[in-house]
């Protein structure tokens, strides 16, 4: 099993509708993000758009953290801190794969920032093996 422990940088994000049709790129096509996993079972993540902010502009930004379990293909996080109160105390599940040296996370289909429900595919590059 490939270890996810360390710090990862979001390098690409894709979106698809429930029928698999490609949708506009999440985060305005300029994703930024970090996710960190410790060997003691804690994680924290931040994703957002990397665009220049303008007054009154709706931007996509999300953070959460908590304890996690990982079985090699499924990541499950029990959220105990977050920017969206609706996540507090929930279990966030991601399917995990690897492509070309990148970790690929697939959250369940759901709406994001006023968009219709979609499947997102997030590609992460490991930038540090440091544990926490």
Residue 61 has pLDDT above 60, yes or no: yes
The pLDDT, as a whole number, for residue 45 is 97
Average the pLDDT over 1-29 and give the result: 91
Residues in the chain: 132
Residue 52 has pLDDT above 80, yes or no: no
Domain-embedded: residue 29:
yes
For residue 120 the two structure tokens come to 């997102």
The pLDDT, as a whole number, for residue 116 is 84
Contact 95, 105 (CB under 8 A): yes
Residue 47 has pLDDT above 60, yes or no: yes
Domain-embedded: residue 33:
yes
Range of the domain at 36: 6-128
Residue 132 — very low, low, confident or very high, per pLDDT cuts 50/70/90? Answer: low
The pLDDT, as a whole number, for residue 1 is 67
Query: Which CATH number goes with the domain that contains 21?
Result: 2.40.128
* Number of domains into which the chain is organized: 1
- Predicted TM-score of the model (pTM): 0.90
Domain-embedded: residue 1:
no
Question: What is the end-to-end Cα distance of the chain in Å, rounded?
Answer: 20
């Amino acid at each position: 099993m490939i270890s996810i422990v360390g710090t990862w940088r979001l390098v690409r994000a894709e979106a698809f509708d429930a029928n698999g049709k490609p949708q506009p790129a999440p985060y305005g096509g300029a994703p930024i993000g970090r996710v960190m996993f410790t060997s003691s079972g804690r994680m924290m993540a931040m994703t957002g758009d990397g665009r220049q902010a303008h007054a009154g502009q709706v931007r996509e930004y999300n953070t959460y953290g908590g304890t996690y379990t990982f079985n090699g293909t499924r990541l499950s996080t029990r959220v105990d801190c977050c920017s969206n109160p609706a996540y507090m105390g929930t279990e966030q599940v991601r399917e995990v794969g690897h492509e070309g040296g990148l970790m690929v996370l697939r959250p369940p289909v759901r709406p994001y920032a006023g968009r219709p429900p979609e499947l997102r595919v997030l590609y992460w590059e490991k930038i540090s093996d440091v544990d926490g």
